[in-house]
Amino acid sequence: MKVEDLPLSRDLIERYVSSGIHDLYPPQAECVEKGIFEGKNLLVAIPTASGKTLVAEMAMHFHFRKGGKCLYIVPLKALASEKYEEFSGKGARVGISTGDFDRRDEYLGRNDFIIATSEKVDSLLRNASPWLNDITLLVVDEVHLIDSPDRGPTLEMVIAKMRVKNPAMQLIALSATIGNPGALARWLDAGMVTSSWRPVDLRQGVYYDGAIHFRSGERPVPSLSRHESVNLIMDTITEGGQCLVFVSSRKNAEAFAKQAAKAIHLENEELNAYRKRLEKVAETDQEKALAHCVGSGAAFHHAGLRRESRSIVEEGFRKGHIRCISSTPTLAAGLNLPARRVIIKEYRRYSSGEGMVPIPAREYHQMAGRAGRPHLDPYGESVLIGHDARDAGELFSYYIDAPAEDVNSQCSSQEALATHILSLIASGFVCSRPALREFMRTTFYFHQKKQDRILESVIGRALLFLDGAEMIVQQDDLLSATEYGMIVSQLYIDPVSADIILDGLLKADDYSDIGLLQLICSTPDMYTLFVGNRDSHYLERFVLEHEGDLWIDFPYEETEGYFRALKTAMVLFDWSREIPEATICERYSIGAGDIYNILESATWLLHASSRLSRMFRGIFSSSIQEYEYCMKHGIKRELIPLVRIRNIGRIRARRLYNNGFTSPEKILMAGEDLIIPILGHGITSQIFRDLKGLSENTSSRRRDDLSRPNLFNFGNGQDD
């Protein structure tokens, strides 16, 4: 099927043709035949690199030509940024939203394409963003994540809400790995496009005894090293390909990248430039090690790295300069980083309470799907590492020949449903028990169970909890949210989290920063850090030394959750006391990326705590509001007036404060000559322009007002 024959704008067709897209791939052509340009719902379950994103983009532009508005849901913020870049500059206005969860983001409605995570869309629904009513096409990427215990219920509810809100809306669901596509397609009232076709042939095998063993033959691998995986990557790199190596842990990813860097040992201007960029942002030994590896052509990639470092690595790999990346499975979750050979070095990973367990077949297929770069590689290879022929037989059976697991709804638990039922009631989506029951019948959960008795039971348990927590009121069959319930829903926190926070605020005798952090880190909304054997000593000592400041008593049994929350709280506490990142990383054996991951959640939960304290414990309100700002910027309270100045962050603010310039007023009084040695010419000039401009605009006020922080709230206080 020719691209030129499609009902798209001439500009877009010419753009596709100029980029080498003249004919549609067979699965893409089937999508056209099954009604993608006729408003038909479609479930597109085809392999990675078979053109799913182009299918969605063509449908989006078709709606755009007719004056429609498109919403594209992704599971990861990094993937949202990738799609934003991919869709921009082609005629339609593109917007992206992954941030604050209590904003209506009405400005997004000015765009033709909006890209957002499922959590962000859920919050927009809760806060009644009016432009959601105008959506004519909903695209759901990685729809198999409905099966995820963490994110699945939100994705399922978002799809159900959008379909009820906009019954005429077209829906396109995308995935590479679904074991039961028919069940999902029937729920979505969608046509189904499934295919095993790939633009690059995928060869799947198991390596042992010096060769990759396929179903039809084998491929010897030259032995250049005593490490089998190093031999596999060098075999590919020698013939001009790139490799992705998946391992079970961050530590193993870093160790393998160091081995690979020694073996590859490339030196060129491009790699040297990437190394320098990484060194510029490196503050920890881990980040310095990454820069060293990249300088030789290898890299590691995991969630412990800060986002900037990961982006540099991804760029270097996409452009072909970095030849090998070793990664935890996060890289397989949607980022577009294909390679000629994918090596699954470790197919078991640690699971709490179970030890090392095999990864699911779906996860293997996600990894294997990264093999083969269209238009660049003559083939793609996915290689599992075994020990002998018997091992290989099991790996073929369990992974290579096995279909992906079925996708199942995760909406069966009270915990999963309570937050979504509260949002339905608080947003006015439903106002009675019969209406709630009717809505729940539109979910994938009911589609799979098809039993009203089970549905009534799970609804009843969730309503009982919400009623007991005083978040809703039930009068006969009528349902309404209390003011407390409304705020909890709009803040986008789990009702269980809100209940824990409120209970802690009401029971605390005195305010304590570490007590509040311990409280929010004990909620289900907070990701907590792993606790190893070496952590128990300092954690126990901290409990003894800060017993009067902590808000949750030591349990003496079932201590793992307590210590995980406490360790996470201690990391955040150190950050807010201006402890350097490198020191925090070394002290707690974590990566810089871990700090920013927990910081994002903590700042949001502090914001929620501030709102709740205003309602129920006003005496703590100002302290929590101040501490929220301190946490966001990593500062002690004394720096708040300085960090509110644009271009002043935690490092510059501390330099100023330690030199006696403790307020905007003192900076102005000192003059530029005294500030330049501290901050440099450029930043000093900018700061004085801002401060003088504001001073002139407020000249009718008393000069003392200059010390009020809110007068200098120019920006986000980022620096260095």
636-652: per-residue pLDDT in tens? 999 999 999 988 999 99
Looking at domain 495-633, which of 1.10.3380.30, 1.10.357.10, 3.40.50.300, 1.10.10.10 is its CATH number? 1.10.3380.30
Report the pLDDT value the prediction gives residue 706, as an integer from 0 to 100: 36
Report the pLDDT value the prediction gives residue 106, as an integer from 0 to 100: 81
Instruction: Give SS3 for 682.
Output: helix
Residue type, 627: Y
Residue 190 to residue 45: CA distance in whole angstroms: 12
CB of 187 closer than 8 Å to CB of 160 = no
Residue 637 to residue 639: CA distance in whole angstroms: 5
Phi, psi of 504 (to 5 degrees): -65, -40
Q: Give, in words, the CATH class of 414-481.
A: mainly alpha
SS3 of 337-349: the string is CCECEEEECCCEE
Report the pLDDT value the prediction gives residue 350, as an integer from 0 to 100: 74
Phi, psi of 113 (to 5 degrees): -120, 130
CB of 142 closer than 8 Å to CB of 73 = no
Residue 423 to residue 479: CA distance in whole angstroms: 12
Nearest to 331 by CA among 378, 358, 369: 369
* Domain spanning 202-400: CATH superfamily: P-loop containing nucleotide triphosphate hydrolases (3.40.50.300)
Residue 111 is encoded by which pair of tokens?
């765009």
Residue type, 682: G
Report the pLDDT value the prediction gives residue 704, as an integer from 0 to 100: 42
- Furthest-apart CA pair in the chain: how many Å? 86
Report the pLDDT value the prediction gives residue 177, as an integer from 0 to 100: 85
Phi, psi of 327 (to 5 degrees): -145, 155
Q: At what angle do helices 285-294 and 581-588 cross, to 10 degrees?
A: 100
Report the pLDDT value the prediction gives residue 702, as an integer from 0 to 100: 42
Instruction: Kindly give the pairing relationship between strand 478-481 and strand 472-475.
Output: antiparallel
CB of 571 closer than 8 Å to CB of 590 = yes
Report the pLDDT value the prediction gives residue 331, as an integer from 0 to 100: 66
Residue 339 sits at the vertex; the CA angle it makes with 334 and 340, to the nearest 5 degrees, is: 140
Contacts of 189 (CB under 8 A, 6+ apart): 41
Residue 269 to residue 275: CA distance in whole angstroms: 10
Residue type, 222: P
User: For the CA atoms of 25, 29, 31, 35, what is the dihedral angle to 10 degrees?
Assistant: 160
For the chain, what are the domain ranges?
Answer: 3-194, 202-400, 414-481, 495-633, 637-712
Tell me if domain 202-400 and domain 495-633 are identical in fold: no
Q: Give, in words, the CATH class of 637-712.
A: mainly alpha
Report the pLDDT value the prediction gives residue 720, as an integer from 0 to 100: 47
- DSSP for 183-239, written as a single string: HHHHHTT-EEEE----SS-EEEEEEETTEEEETTEEEE----SS-HHHHHHHHHHHT
Question: Would you tell me how many other CB atoms lie within 10 Å of the CB of residue 195?
Answer: 15
pLDDT < 50: residue spans in the chain: 700-718, 720
Report the pLDDT value the prediction gives residue 319, as an integer from 0 to 100: 94
129-140 tens-digit pLDDT: 999 999 999 999
User: For the CA atoms of 580, 584, 585, 590, what is the dihedral angle to 10 degrees?
Assistant: -140
Report the pLDDT value the prediction gives residue 78, as an integer from 0 to 100: 80
pTM: 0.90
Residue 483 is encoded by which pair of tokens?
């003011």
Architecture of the domain defined by 3-194: 3-Layer(aba) Sandwich (3.40)
Report the pLDDT value the prediction gives residue 697, as an integer from 0 to 100: 58
User: Distance of CA 485 to CAs 122, 426, 493, 496, Å?
Assistant: 16, 7, 11, 12
